[in-house]
Amino acid sequence: MVDVRIYRAAFIPVVAVLITVMFSIQDRPPPLTPSLAPDAFDSKGAYATTLEIMRRAPDRRPGSSGDAAIADLVEGRFQSLPGLEMTRDEFSSEVDGRKTPMTNVIGTLSGPSTRQVVLMANRDAAGRPGASTAADTATLLELAKVLAGVRHDKTIVLVSADGSTADNAGARRFAAD
């Protein structure tokens, strides 16, 4: 008499071997190679730009002359990069009960895909010297320089946003548009 359970038990290792063979027939694909060198980001350059921003405009409240000066700095750096399309979005928002003019500076590195990656840094600061937003802006500028020199599949949008101390007015404005 033949017991079917023995055949079922013997069939399990055969299936395991077949699955292993199926995945072993093809070689492993080669590893992905980055188009960007690991040391492409210049941290010393970002630090120097941070110090420059704090020296040039220690008072960067939204709508202030210091904030406008750093917006001009960002615009100039964006315009100097090949392939980066730069736009300014001027708007107004309420700061301490007053309508205050603000500006977002937007740089776009077009890629073949319509999908976008957005990198945003706040530019204004509530107090002096505003080191964190100065470092954010300097990092954004350094990333723009690095990314402008490499091929990328997605469109990269770099935003220097105003109004972070005014309920993130610049980020809200960018998201709404």
CATH of the domain at 55: 3.40.630.10
Q: Is residue 159 part of a domain?
A: yes
Distance CA 102, CA 61 (A): 10
Q: Is residue 2 part of a domain?
A: no
The boundaries of the domain holding residue 85 are 43-176
* Confidence (pLDDT) at 97: 80
Q: Is residue 102 part of a domain?
A: yes
Q: Is residue 27 part of a domain?
A: no
- Is there a contact between 126 and 168 (Cβ–Cβ < 8 Å)? no
Which residue from 168, 150, 160, 167 is spatially nearest to 79, judged by alpha carbons? 160
pLDDT (tens digit, 0 to 9) for every residue of the chain, 177 residues total? 667 677 677 778 888 888 888 777 777 778 877 777 777 888 899 999 999 999 998 888 888 888 899 999 999 999 999 989 999 999 888 888 888 899 999 999 998 988 999 999 999 888 777 788 899 999 999 999 998 888 888 999 999 998 887 888 888 889 988
Say how many domains are in the chain: 1
Crossing angle of helices 65-79/43-56, nearest 10°? Answer: 150
With 0-12 / 13-18 / 19 or more C-beta atoms within 10 angstroms meaning exposed / middle / buried, residue 164 is buried
Q: Is residue 30 part of a domain?
A: no
Sheet strands (E) in 10-136? 84-95, 98-109, 116-122
- Is there a contact between 141 and 49 (Cβ–Cβ < 8 Å)? yes
* Confidence (pLDDT) at 44: 92
Distance CA 145, CA 173 (A): 25
Q: Is residue 14 part of a domain?
A: no
Q: Is residue 37 part of a domain?
A: no
* Confidence (pLDDT) at 107: 95
Q: Is residue 33 part of a domain?
A: no
